[in-house]
Structure 1
Amino acid sequence: MTALTYPASHLPPATPERCSGLQTVTLFCSEPLLLDCGQAVTHVRVAYHTYGEAREDATLVLHALTGTSAVHEWWPEFLGEGRPLDPTRDFVVCANVIGGCAGSTGPAELASVGGQDASLSLRDMARVGRALLDHLGVRRVSLVGGSMGGMLAYAWLLECPDLVEKAVIIGAPARHSPWAIGLNTAARSAIQAAPGGEGLKVARQIAMLSYRSPESFALTQAGQRSPGTPAITSYLQYQGEKLHARFCERSYVALTWAMDMFQPTDDELRSIRAPVLVVGIRSDVLYPPAEVQGYAALLPHAQYWELDSVHGHDAFLMDAQDLPERVRAFLS
């Protein structure tokens, strides 16, 4: 997702109160994890943050595609006393997904199959997450996830129905449409065509066009940033460079593929019994609100709410409006 700059009044403290800092644990040391692709893996490293005092019930934050476990850095409107993720009241956990590049086991560390990276699934990520919660002594969990994190919440609801008490799914479908798969296919093709970083920059530019909306770009990227260079061109180039500096192209391929291959059936979705708050975004062109609402309608105990923002898919990060209060009320 987009890395955002917040007004000074919204910046979190450098060392958030009740934050554990980045921790790591190695799981599946004695018994392997069987991935959905059929590969067994051991010694899976998971990097994570916690906020608040450890207890048997927790709130698990599921990050977006290029996000990290440092919730205080990218979601300050949601984390803090009196907010949806309140470390003075709750035990909040966020882990970097396997396959990513923020401390957990990445694609290059998994044994290859036929010279190719092992194929990861969102259900694999949920199983690893459950093992982490077992390590932390958590017995019941509420989920909060946006974008890829919202899709991962669906995987948790299907994989761990005994563990999940409720879930908040923001700006995410239960499965990718041909439109979303097409965008990811184009991004992966760019990486394949220009390995070494240039392709990743183009992939990010493709993604950024779907993370915002025409209305949003008309408001924020009209005109020229410098003589002879449209503002939108400078913006996309900057976003590509920034992601290249902090992300891994193999992770980008692995995670987008996992999202594309997650295709639960309608009957599976109807089997979910936990209460779920599903949030659509009015101007989201990546996951249109009608699509998000349609999946919510399949869930027996879901309520749907729509964020009325012009800023597209990324609105849950940059223009949250009443969303924090809606989530706080649901979790409470």
Structure 2
Amino acid sequence: MTALSHPPTIALPLQPDDVPGERCPQREVTLFRDHPLLLDSGAVLTNIRVAYHTYGEARQDATLVLHALTGTSAVHEWWPEFLGAGRPLDPTTDYVICANVLGGCAGTTSAAELGDIPVSLRDMARVGRALLEHLGVRRVRVIGSSMGGLLTYAWLLECPDLVERAVIIGAPARHSPWAVGLNTAARSAIRAAPGGEGLKVARQIAMLSYRSHQSFAATQAGQRTPGVPAITSYLEYQGEKLHARFCEKTYVTLTQAMDTFQPTDADLRSIHAPVLAVGISSDVLYPAAEVRGHAALLPRSTYWELDSIHGHDAFLMDAGNLPDVVRDFLHR
């Protein structure tokens, strides 16, 4: 491709390589200092800052964790059931890496810094590959859930030489019209009410798709405050909570990246790494049948279903035997 010399190269500010932290510090490195990254959009970037966490001793093979839409690289904060001795992500025997995605708002070069430049899931995988090269990692086992599951498909297509095996939890290979429609409504809310109120509504829309009818019936029935339905106060709280820690431009950028990732069936048939795909029985965002159907196109896939009433978020709040299934597959 010869376009490298034509679009202007956008040089992002240089950053220090490391940021001190606590017991599990977040680190930062500036990549693409000398060799620019060509994005799928045609834009060219240099000096991309990547924020990441590592767990365990450095080695040439590792397990790469890919976080969800509003997640971060701090796996110890949001997935403690999976991280620890004897668990799927075991720092006593494995080198575990998780990086904040390009266009996010948790330390890696953000959507606000990128301006109007769109990013793709494949762009995110290319940045992740550069991070692995920086860390001296040559082979990875990849595990991703929700948006991280979609991103895992991008890694399988973009970096087949690096991925030894992969686990995809609660995610299809591409967004259906239903999923695109939900994200479209969320982005419309943000654009209609910029400054935070739209982001709160976007989160409320998303939360309705992250749980299920049965889950809300079991957990949000009745009233917590006189005259206010429990589900209303719950959704309002979730909107306020996300507004306090997230960026509306990031929400738009990342959901657009998810919606535009549309690998073909032929693309999926070209993936030869072993893949464990996990569907969730009550998931209304990514129905189990959709997850299973896309996984069936992979030449070396295994499908397992998590039985829970709690919908898409069950992988976080009602994991059941999932940690054991994932551990056995990752270290087979």
**TM-score over 0.5 (shorter chain):** yes
1 CA distance for matches of 2:251 and 2:186? 9
Query: What's the CA shift string for 1:42-99, capped at 9, x where partnerless?
Result: 1000000000000000000000000000000000000000000000000000000010
**TM-score of the aligned structures, taking structure 2 as reference length:** 0.93
* Structure 1 residue 109, shift from structure 2 partner: 1.3
Q: TM-score, normalised by structure 1?
A: 0.93
Which residue number in structure 2 is paired with residue 31 of structure 1?
35
SS at the partner of 2:105? coil
* CA distance in structure 2 between the aligned counterparts of 1:54 and 1:244, rounded to whole angstroms: 36
Runs of at least 5 residues in structure 2 that lack an aligned partner in the other structure: 1-20
Give the superposition deviation at 1:15: 5.7
Deviation at 1:171, TM superposition (A): 0.1
- The DSSP-based 3-state class of the residue aligned with 1:192 is helix
Q: Which amino acid aligns with 1:62?
A: L
- Taking the aligned partners of 2:144 and 2:322, their CA distance within structure 1 comes to 13
String of CA shifts for 1:115-169, please: whole Å, max 9, x gaps: xx11110000000000000000000000010000000000000000000000000
Secondary structure at 1:180's aligned position in 2? Answer: helix
CA distance in 2, matches of 1:318, 1:129: 28
Counterpart of 1:73, as a letter, is E
Quote the residue 1:48 is aligned against. Answer: 52
Structure 1 distance, partners of 2:183, 2:275, is 27
Deviation at 1:108, TM superposition (A): 1.8
Question: What residue in structure 2 maps to residue 65 of structure 1?
Answer: 69
Q: Which residue of 1 aligns with 2:192?
A: 193
1:92 to 96, 99, 115: 96
Counterpart of 2:176 in structure 1 is 177
Partner of 2:241: 242
Distance 2:35 2:86 in 1: 41
Structure 2: distance between partners of 1:173 and 1:39 = 28
Helix, strand or coil at the partner of 1:206: helix
Matched ranges for 1:71-86 at <5 A: 71-86=75-90
User: 1:317 aligns to what SS in structure 2?
Assistant: helix
Aligned length: 311
Deviation at 1:225, TM superposition (A): 1.1
Unaligned runs of 5+ in 1: 1-13
After the TM superposition, which residues 189-268 of structure 1 pair with which residues of structure 2 at under 5 Å, given as runs? 189-268=188-267
CA RMSD, aligned part only? 0.9
- What amino acid is aligned across from residue 163 of structure 1 in structure 2? L
Alpha-carbon deviation of 1:107? 1.3
Pairs within 5 Å for 1:263-302 = 263-302=262-301
Percent sequence identity over matched residues?
78
| Counterpart-to-counterpart distance in 2, 1:150 and 1:183 | 18
Does the residue aligned with 2:149 lie in a helix, a strand or coil? helix
